[in-house]
Amino acid sequence: MSDHYTMEQEEIFSKVMRAGRRTYFFDVRSTKAGDFYLTITESKKFTNDDGSYHYKKHKIYLYKEDFSEFKDTLEEMINYVIDEKGEEVISERHQKDYKKETDETPQAAETTSENGETDTSSFTDIEFDDI
């Protein structure tokens, strides 16, 4: 295969999406027979202790015969996440005041009656002398 063929193959159509430390490359490429397929590459930047950096890359090859099912499955998964958790990003990295559920102080089990009074009948009194 010549360098000319490789160069043409890589210049069919490309888009780049940057997302923090990750960059996604969407590239339309050509098979030897002249048909098209899609590659999706995730490139993630890692910084070493000495300040230098390196990238880790993961690539998916997606062929035309799989486009429809891939698109349907991706759409289904995206809709599930949005339906279950909404579009707001919830994470330590994106929210300075984020606290994991396990980090929160346990709440006392108390209920409120219909008239608005707190029901403490489920509490147990403990005397420090008992400990």
Q: Domains along the chain?
A: 3-85 (3.10.450.700)
pLDDT tier for residue 97 given thresholds of 50, 70 and 90: low
Average pLDDT on 100-105 reads: 56
The pLDDT > 70 percentage for the chain reads 61
Classify 88 in phi/psi space as left (phi over 0), alpha (psi -120 to 50) or beta: beta
Average pLDDT on 33-61 reads: 93
Burial letters 86-116, b for 16+ CB under 10 A, else e = eeeeeeeeeeeeeeeeeeeeeeeeeeeeeee
- Res 7 pLDDT > 50: no
Residues 6+ apart with CB under 8 A from 43: 22, 23, 24, 25, 55, 56, 57
Q: Residue 10: what residue type?
A: E
